[in-house]
Structure 1
Amino acid sequence: MPVSPSYRPDPRFMAMGPDFADPVLPANFPQTITRWRNQRSAETVGLGELTEAEWTAHFGRFQPLPDNQPGPLAMRYHGHQFRSYNPDLGDGRGFLFAQLREAGSDRLLDLATKGSGQTPWSRSGDGRLTLKGGVREILAANMLEALGVPTSRAFSLIETGEDLVRGDEPSPTRSAVLVRLSHSHIRFGSFQRHAFLGRADNIQKLVDHAVETYYPGLADAPDRASALLGAAVLRTANLAGRWMAAGFVHGVLNTDNMVITGESFDYGPWRFLPRNDPNFTAAYFDESGLYSFGRQPEAAFWNLQQLAGCLTLVSESERLVEAINGFGPAYREGLKTAMLTRLGVKPRSPDEDVDLVNAGFRALAEGGEAVRWEPFFFDWFCGGERAMAGARAGAYGGEAAAEFRRRLAEFEPDRPERLAHPMFQADEPEEMLIDEVEALWAPIAEADDWGPLNAKLARIEAARQAWGISAT
């Protein structure tokens, strides 16, 4: 393959040994048809020059990348699933394929899979991914990135030519293998596995690996475990705040779906809010609303508590309690910052910033059915002139909206030149509601027509540029 000067392999996790991952073989798929190639992300890790044949060889057949892992590794972990502990988890339909450095940031990034075949942790599953599931993950990841949420990136989607049977959608259905690019796949559940087995030595090994790989500034901390927890608390709190400002509902916030570097990943039954509704759930099987929109911060904190419990095997409880108690202030700061970013204004003072954010949530609640989540931020971006001159002006006539407008007028717009972008000349913003997701899938399922999906992804990228969001 043509190796770009910006391609810098750095496979670190494989040195951890057999207690942490199992060598596996990828499935031998009947065909490999590239359906999504994230060229922008590929260029950031030196893989943008791959030919189509090379792309499918590496991300459909999983031939090793040069000087990288010699073969895939299915990572070992446990986890709480809807707060019930499951010791039979692990990479059941995915694996870590490669690790490499990102140009510019020098971050270590993982290339990992979903739908790449059975592993020792597949249980009764077939190890596959539906093509529709892959399309949904691309849409979620791209939309979240555009909204400034720390997220994995959908790197590649290759259709694999198998007919899959699923109980929750029409079957047989088409199959695919997804590759995602993410900062880390070390889950809270990675620590839980070794705590369950009473392996304090492996917990310390995992702590040292995480610190040296992802938080080198903590290498000299007197207690690496509590320092790592503190860093994970800050990153996770920020992530939760970003979810809330984006109106995003992950749907399955189990401990095996949260990582120590604080990125959102693994998108199954996700949803974006149609309107402000704290009780809105994404998963049809979340009957109690455990992971509803309004309970996501609580879920993140509960998961961090489980991580802290694992670290008691190698650290003092007092230090861990101090670290985890930082979640509340960090979440409030993360939510405030995310909301100001979404509104396109510069911060003033801590009290004024909080008052504006609270006024925004009251205005959203007051609007009820008349005010959709995403159009609210679209209308009020960089000030209220567009809101009161647009089609939804009548929905902003209540007392809460008037109070929000008054407070917003006191804030200075941040980079108001962004309003000149063509997206802000339209009547509606880019949204990602479930009806549109189904509408984008229909032409693929019925006529193998990928045009509407590609057009939507192009509009999401234009929205990212309009909002001025840097790539994650």
Structure 2
Amino acid sequence: MTLPPQAYRPETAILELGSGFYDPVEAADFPETKLRFRNDRAAAGIGLMALSDAEWVAHFGRFAPLEGSLTRPLALRYHGHQFRVYNPDIGDGRGFLFAQLRDDRGRLMDLGTKGSGQTPWSRFGDGRLTLKGGVREVLATEMLEGLGVETSRSFSLIETGEALERGDEPSPTRSAVLVRLSHGHIRIGTFQRLAYDRDEDGIRALTAYVLRHYYGEEAGDDAPVRLLDHVVRRGARLAASYMAAGFVHGVLNSDNINVTGESFDYGPWRFAPTWDPTFTAAYFDHAGLYAFGRQPEAIHWDAMQLAVSLRLVSEAEPLIAVIERFGEHYQPAVANAILWRLGLRPRDAESDRGLVQAVEKALRGDNASIDRFFFDAFGGGLPDSYGPAFDEVRAVLAGYEPRSERSHAYWQAGSPCSMLIDEVEAIWSTIDRHDDWSAFHAKIAAIRQMGAALSTD
């Protein structure tokens, strides 16, 4: 493996925590390994772009260790609330932490897997991932990255040649292993497990680890409060970015909330076609717990579970004070996220709040397409085709300065890049029926063009 030494910087930081936090495991031995997607853009940021396809498959399909990083995969231990019901019997059941390394911003990054085989936490699962599930996660993460959401990145997708039986889709179906590049895999549920076991030393050690490696701070007497403050701020920003993107994660359980505030673990996700607060992604979310409009509430609730866990090593009052500021962080965050998607510069808190209210009211009342509205309104203009329901939005937009003009080629396309469920199913259908990946790769190219246009100042 020939890599630029100044760019490839392996790490083993997770080993600082000790064996009580993870279980060494072996990857499944797959019948075949067909490389279907490699994220060279992400690989360039961690010094791995120079890998040949054969080397790529050896590392991310056969899981030969990356030089200088972990010598064995580690299945991480955690608990979590799943639809508000506490579950102490979960953990990395079909994935593991494969490697750690630094990115080009100096951040500690994890390469973690999905569908890499059984672990001690698999329970009755087979530890595998359907190829459709892998395709869907690549599409979700690419779209979210393009829309400015802090998300894990789908790093590699390799088809593995097994026929899987699944109750919620036609079976047997094709199998795959996915590798994610993420800014850490420590979850709120990781802290919950330690609190469940009354492990004060473990909570202190994990708090110090997170502060040191993800927030650049050292532990002290107020370490739990500072950690919670970071998570609340990042969680509020994540919830805000979901709303501006029109995204519904679907399963915002406490084991799916990363303490760095990075979105990850995509199962029954959806992009909402219209601003419908009751729109859900998971067919089994009968009560609408994680509906589009309830996602800020869900993430706030999960952050409260972290506060409960940290109560084992901290006084309650300062933790409560931090939790109660979630709304204070969310309001400016959602304004910034919507302004960014509109290509406008912020003004002042009151004006920005008024803009958000006007946009939400118009979209909700008119049943307009979210993607179409943001495409048409980028830069502050709104076509005459938008009727009286958008008069207030048009008036408010007139007071804002654009941060970007509509000069990028994306804006000349005439229609927005979207990722609604029908398109996802159509992309999968061409793969499933004809092994035709052209629509998949074309969609990724279109998403990246959109992201470039949105990011242009």
Superposition misfits of 4+ residues, deviation over 3 angstroms: none
CA shift for structure 1 position 282: 0.1
SS state of the match for residue 339, structure 2? helix
In the alignment, what sits opposite 1:352? 351
Residues 154 and 179 in structure 1, CA contact (< 8 A), matched pair in contact too: yes
CA shift for structure 1 position 136: 0.1
Determine the C-alpha separation between the residues in 2 that align with 1:133 and 1:304: 28
- Give the partner amino acid of 2:380: G
In the alignment, what sits opposite 1:402? 391
- Give the partner amino acid of 2:46: V
SS state of the match for residue 312, structure 2? coil
- Give the partner amino acid of 1:86: N
| 1:376-410 deviation line (CA, Å, top 9, x unaligned) | 100000021xx31xxxx43x212x41111011011
Is 2:369 the counterpart of 1:372?
Answer: yes
- Give the partner amino acid of 1:57: A
Determine the C-alpha separation between the residues in 1 that align with 2:227 and 2:363: 37
- Give the partner amino acid of 1:156: S
| 1:208-244 deviation line (CA, Å, top 9, x unaligned) | 1111111123x26541011000011000100000000
Residues 8 and 48 in structure 2, CA contact (< 8 A), matched pair in contact too: yes
| 1:36-87 deviation line (CA, Å, top 9, x unaligned) | 0000100100000001110000000000000100010000000000000000
Residues 94 and 127 in structure 1, CA contact (< 8 A), matched pair in contact too: yes
- Give the partner amino acid of 1:228: L
Query: Which segment is superposed worse, 343-352 or 280-289?
Result: 343-352
In the alignment, what sits opposite 2:438? 451
Determine the C-alpha separation between the residues in 1 that align with 2:228 and 2:364: 35
In the alignment, what sits opposite 2:120? 120
Segments of structure 2 that go 5 or more residues without pairing to the other structure are: none
Determine the C-alpha separation between the residues in 2 that align with 1:139 and 1:349: 35
Residues 208 and 219 in structure 2, CA contact (< 8 A), matched pair in contact too: no
CA shift for structure 1 position 324: 1.2
SS state of the match for residue 284, structure 2? coil
In the alignment, what sits opposite 1:434? 421
In the alignment, what sits opposite 2:35? 34
Determine the C-alpha separation between the residues in 2 that align with 1:102 and 1:26: 25
In the alignment, what sits opposite 2:26? 25
Residues 404 and 456 in structure 2, CA contact (< 8 A), matched pair in contact too: no
SS state of the match for residue 27, structure 1? coil
Determine the C-alpha separation between the residues in 1 that align with 2:455 and 2:332: 21
| 1:96-123 deviation line (CA, Å, top 9, x unaligned) | 00000001x1011100000000000000
Q: TM-score, normalised by structure 2?
A: 0.98
- Give the partner amino acid of 1:18: S
- Give the partner amino acid of 1:144: L
Determine the C-alpha separation between the residues in 2 that align with 1:300 and 1:166: 29
Determine the C-alpha separation between the residues in 2 that align with 1:462 and 1:449: 22
- Give the partner amino acid of 2:91: G
Taking the TM superposition and a 5 Å limit, the aligned residue runs for 1:6-85 are 6-85=7-86
Query: Which segment is superposed worse, 422-431 or 72-81?
Result: 422-431
Over 3 Å counting, the alpha-carbon distance change for 1:449 and 1:238 in structure 2 is same
CA shift for structure 1 position 366: 2.4
In the alignment, what sits opposite 1:411? 400
Residues 141 and 152 in structure 2, CA contact (< 8 A), matched pair in contact too: yes
CA shift for structure 1 position 265: 0.3
Residues 128 and 175 in structure 2, CA contact (< 8 A), matched pair in contact too: yes
Determine the C-alpha separation between the residues in 2 that align with 1:309 and 1:366: 39
In the alignment, what sits opposite 2:103? 102
Structural RMSD (CA): 1.0
Taking the TM superposition and a 5 Å limit, the aligned residue runs for 1:131-142 are 131-142=131-142
In the alignment, what sits opposite 2:198? 198
User: Identity rate of aligned residues, in percent?
Assistant: 57
Determine the C-alpha separation between the residues in 2 that align with 1:336 and 1:99: 34
